[in-house]
Amino acid sequence: MKEKLEQIKEKALSQIQDCDSAEKLNEIKVSILGKKGELTDLLKGMRDVAPQERPKVGQLVNEARAEIEKVLEESKARIEKAVREARMKTEVIDVTLPASKTELGHRHPNTIALEEVERIFVGMGYEVVEGPEVEKDYYNFEALNIPADHPAKDEQDTFYVASAVGDILLRTQTSGVQVHEMEKGKLPIRMIAPGRVFRSDEVDATHSPSFHQIEGLVIDKHITFADLKGTLAEFARALFGEETKVKFRPHHFPFTEPSAEMDVTCFKCGGKGCRFCKGSGWIEILGCGMVHPHVLEMSSIDPEEYTGFAFGMGLERIALLKYEIDDMRLLYENDIRFLRQF
Ligand code: DAH
């Protein structure tokens, strides 16, 4: 039995030392030390050994086993090292190669313009709020003093949402957010409300069925038209430059009285007249006015105690002007070549 043991050991050691792969090494281990391995088999022969010899033979087997295990470990380490070294040789990094370029995203011109407008008004103490895009007729029209027979409610302009009650629509203006804010009952109010609006318009260079507006509303005691003018003139200077002058033209909106449109001096020619401002020197940028007493009343605000002003502008219009883009469609096409410029 001793000789057999010696034989197994010698064979195992030489096999292990010659072995050059982890899989083969494992096979060798199983064939010797495994359940059906040679050494295990040999142990089964113990019952034929004389009882007084058994401890000694047992010790020899254990020693052989320990030695084989030790050599197995050494070989495993040797093979792993060889594999590592081989990999290092093939995985050489050529540090002189140009790095692959990571493409950075770009902010959309609408986003840049909106952030600019928000920054200006937040700086004046305004809060930025949001309202629903799917709106009730009441908020989009009625509470803004736009009666049922007003032409702005024409089905040609408004997207009505099929509903049992027939008064749900995609908002055509952000002005409804004024009503939501007034209904909260917390005064004073100083807010802007940017958001998407929808109109049944054909797409062209200046129209889109979906675009964005920024609404503004201030309500407090003793608010006058002078506050409106001062605020919006300051806004125009902050947005288009210190030299910008403003002009208010009388206009009509159902929810404000008096109402006006505000023009700014053309930032391209400074007011002399050019192709950009179509020779007039002025560019229209927003609608505004003093909140109509009837509108205040409908939202439970006493017009004898509180007054306010409101304004609304098209975000795309601001972005187009600021970045001298001549076709609104460019803002929606997501052409990377266009967006990359911002
Ligand atoms: N909602 C108006 C529109 O879509 C814009 C507007 C005009 C908003 C005057 C206002 C305002 O708040 O005072 O044409």
Atom index in ligand 1 nearest the CA of residue 172 equals 4
Provide the CA 1 distance to its chain's centre, in angstroms.
76
Check whether residue 69 and residue 162 sit in a common domain: no
Residue to mutate (ligand 1; options 201, 255, 313; most atoms within 8 A of CB): 255
What's the pLDDT band for 92 if we cut at 50, 70, 90? confident
Buried b vs exposed e over 120-153: b needs ≥16 C-beta within 10 Å? bbeeeebeebebeeebbbebbbbbbbbeeeeebb
Query: Which residue CA neighbors atom 6 of ligand 1 most closely?
Result: 312
Per-residue pLDDT reduced to its tens digit, 267-291: 888 889 988 788 999 999 999 999 9
Show the ligand 1 pocket: residues with CB < 6 angstroms: 173, 175, 215, 253, 256, 287-289, 310-312
**138 Cα–ligand 1 center, Å:** 16
CATH number, domain with residue 311? 3.30.930.10
8 domain-assigned = yes
Instruction: Name the residue range of residue 85's domain.
Output: 2-90
| Domain-located, residue 186 | yes
Return mean pLDDT, the chain: 92
Provide the pLDDT for residue 330.
96
Domain count, the chain: 2
Indicate if 49 and 189 belong to the same structural domain: no
Indicate if 167 and 242 belong to the same structural domain: yes
pLDDT for the residue numbered 89? 87
Question: What DSSP letter does each residue of 120-179 carry, written as one string?
Answer: HHHHTTPEE----SEEEHHHHTGGGT--TT-GGG-TTT--EEP-SSS-EEE-S-TTHHHH
Distance from residue 235's CA to the centre of ligand 1 (Å): 17
Check residue 301 and give its pLDDT: 98
> β-pairing, 307-314 with 210-220?
antiparallel
Residue 248: partners with Cβ closer than 8 Å, 6 or more residues away? 229, 260, 261, 262, 263, 288
Percent of residues, the chain, with pLDDT higher than 70: 100
Q: Is residue 120 part of a domain?
A: no
C-alpha of residue 213 to centroid of ligand 1, in Å: 9
Q: Do residues 177 and 303 both lie within one domain? A: yes
* Claim to verify: residue 215 and residue 279 sit in the same structural domain: yes
Q: Give tens-digit pLDDT for 72-82.
A: 999 999 999 98
pLDDT-wise least confident of 146-150, 159-163, 169-173: 159-163
Co-location of 144 and 224 in the same domain: yes
Mean pLDDT in residue range 163-179? 91
Shared domain for 306 and 161, answered yes or no, is yes
Co-location of 191 and 299 in the same domain: yes
Q: Are residues 74 and 140 in the same domain?
A: no
Among 32, 65, 90, the domain boundary falls at 90
pTM over 0.85: no
Q: What distance in angstroms lies between residue 268's CA and the mean position of ligand 1's atoms?
A: 26
